[in-house]
Amino acid sequence: MFCYHCQEAKKNIVCDVTGICGKKENVSSLQDLLMYSIKGLAFYAHKSLELGIIEAKTDQFTAKALFSMVTNVNFDPADFVALITETNQRRNSLRALFLAAYRQAHDTEFAETIPEEAQWQFESATEADFITKGATVVIDKEHIEDEDLHGLQECLLYAIKGLASLMVHAHALNSEKQELYRFIYAALSYTLQPNNSLESALAMNIECGEMGLSAMAMLDQANMAHFGQQQPTQVYKDVWEKPGILVTGHDLQDIEELLEQTAGTGVDVYTHGEAITAHAYSAFKKFFNLAGNYGNAWQDQRTQFSKFKGPILVSTNSIQQQKKDYKDKIFTTGMVGWPEIKHIADRKPGQAKDFSPLIEQAKKCEAPTLLTEGKVTVGYAHHALTELLPAITEAITQGDIQRIIVLAGCDGRHKERRYYTQIAEALPENTLILTAGDNKYRFHDQDLGTINTIPRLLDAGQSNDFHSIIVFLQALQKSLALPHFNDLPVSYNIAWYEQKTIIMMLALLSLEVKHVRIGPTLPPFFTPNLLQNLADQFSLKGIDTVENDTAAMLQGL
User: To 5 degrees, how large is the angle CA 158–CA 3–CA 412?
Assistant: 75
Cα–Cα dist 426/550, whole Å: 7
Instruction: Return the pLDDT at 143.
Output: 85
Average pLDDT of the segment spanning 449-453: 96
pLDDT in tens, 254-308: 999 999 999 999 999 999 999 999 999 999 999 999 999 999 998 888 889 999 9
Cα–Cα dist 544/557, whole Å: 12
Instruction: Return the pLDDT at 469.
Output: 98
Other C-beta atoms lying within 10 Å of the C-beta of residue 260: 12
Write out the DSSP string of 141-176.
GGG-S-HHHHHHHHHHHHHHHHHHHHHHHHHTTT--
Res 22 pLDDT > 90 = no
Average pLDDT, the chain: 95
For 430, phi and psi rounded to 5 degrees? -100, 25
Residue type, 249: G
% of the chain residues with pLDDT over 70: 100
Higher pLDDT, residue 12 or 49:
49
Instruction: Return the pLDDT at 220.
Output: 97
Cα–Cα dist 346/369, whole Å: 31
Instruction: Return the pLDDT at 160.
Output: 98
Instruction: Return the pLDDT at 274.
Output: 95
Among 475, 486, 485, 471, which residue's Cα sits nearest to residue 539? 486
The band of 54, judged by pLDDT with boundaries at 50, 70 and 90, is: very high
Res 324 pLDDT > 90 = no
Average pLDDT of the segment spanning 463-492: 97
Res 37 pLDDT > 90 = yes
pLDDT in tens, 193-237: 999 999 999 999 999 999 999 999 999 999 999 999 999 999 999
Instruction: Return the pLDDT at 305.
Output: 92
Instruction: Return the pLDDT at 321.
Output: 83
Res 414 pLDDT > 90 = no
The band of 330, judged by pLDDT with boundaries at 50, 70 and 90, is: very high
Give the chain's domains with CATH numbers: 10-225 (1.20.1270.20), 233-363 (3.40.50.2030), 380-554 (3.40.50.2030)
Beta bridge partners of 236: 375
Instruction: Return the pLDDT at 133.
Output: 97
Give, in order, the Cα–Cα distances in Å from 94 to each of 53, 120, 121, 138: 9, 14, 14, 26
Res 169 pLDDT > 90 = yes
Q: At what angle do helices 56-67 and 77-106 cross, to 10 degrees?
A: 140
pLDDT in tens, 86-129: 999 999 999 999 999 999 999 999 999 999 999 999 999 999 99
Residue-level length of the chain = 557
Burial class (CB in 10 A: 0-12, 13-18, 19+), 495: buried
Res 325 pLDDT > 90 = no
In 246-341, which ranges are continuous DSSP H helix? Answer: 252-262, 301-308
Instruction: Return the pLDDT at 218.
Output: 98
Question: Do residues 252 and 318 touch, judged by C-beta distance below 8 A?
Answer: no
Res 239 pLDDT > 90 = yes
Instruction: Return the pLDDT at 249.
Output: 93
Q: What is the pTM of this model?
A: 0.96
CB within 8 Å of 469: residues ≥ 6 apart: 382, 385, 406, 408, 434, 436, 460
Res 317 pLDDT > 90 = no
The band of 323, judged by pLDDT with boundaries at 50, 70 and 90, is: confident
Instruction: Return the pLDDT at 141.
Output: 82
* Kind plus residue range of the DSSP H or E element containing 85: helix 77-106
Average pLDDT of the segment spanning 154-167: 96
Average pLDDT of the segment spanning 10-30: 92
Cα–Cα dist 502/510, whole Å: 12
pLDDT in tens, 331-358: 999 999 999 999 999 999 889 999 999 9
